[in-house]
């Protein structure tokens, strides 16, 4: 490995240690449906986003609710001495990427068949922390 590549990899590794995130891979929901819910909570405070997800009627909201709770637990594991309510956590980044597709055939008239694509997605939630330190 080259020197610059190694330095960049170590720098990215150090940055990743300070960020709390959670991933959900191969979620059996289409990415389009998951993005509808993800767009609602992007950039909101953690408490507000959990309330929005709790009262949403969409099935993708249940999965995102558990994922946000997992990201909060990951943040608490890194910052044992800090309190979640005082930290001012917010959803810094939420990405929904397409996952693998299950391809199935459905019978069609006159001996033909139509292809059905059962889509899945990968969701990544990154939490950010607002700095509430005031300088007098």
**Residue ranges per structural domain of the chain:** 30-105+116-136
Q: What is the dihedral of CA 26, 29, 31, 33, to 10 degrees?
A: -160
Q: Is residue 131's pLDDT more than 80? A: no
Per-residue pLDDT, 15:
80
Q: Is residue 135's pLDDT more than 70? A: no
Per-residue pLDDT, 136:
39
- Contact indicator for 123, 36 with CB cutoff of 8 Å: no
Which distant-in-sequence residues (6+ apart) come within 8 Å of 81 by Cβ? none
CATH code reported for the domain at 30-105+116-136:
3.90.470.10
- Contact indicator for 21, 71 with CB cutoff of 8 Å: yes
Count the Cβ atoms, other than its own, within 10 Å of residue 124.
16
125 vs 19 pLDDT, higher one: 125
Q: Which helix (H) or strand (E) holds 37?
A: helix 31-41
Indicate the pTM of the whole model. 0.83
Per-residue pLDDT, 133:
45
């Amino acid at each position: 490995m080259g020197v610059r590549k190694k330095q960049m990899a170590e720098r990215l590794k150090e940055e990743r240690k300070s960020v709390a995130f959670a991933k959900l891979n191969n979620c059996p929901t289409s990415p389009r449906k998951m993005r509808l819910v993800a767009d609602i909570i992007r950039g909101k405070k953690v408490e507000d986003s959990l309330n929005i997800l709790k009262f949403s009627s969409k099935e993708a909201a249940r999965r995102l609710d558990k994922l946000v709770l997992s990201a909060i637990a990951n943040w608490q594991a890194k910052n044992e001495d800090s309190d979640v309510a005082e930290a001012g956590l917010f959803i810094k980044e939420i990405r929904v990427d397409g996952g693998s597709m299950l391809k199935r055939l459905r019978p069609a008239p006159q001996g033909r068949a139509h292809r059905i694509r059962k889509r899945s997605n990968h969701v990544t939630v990154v939490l950010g922390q607002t700095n509430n330190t005031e300088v007098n």
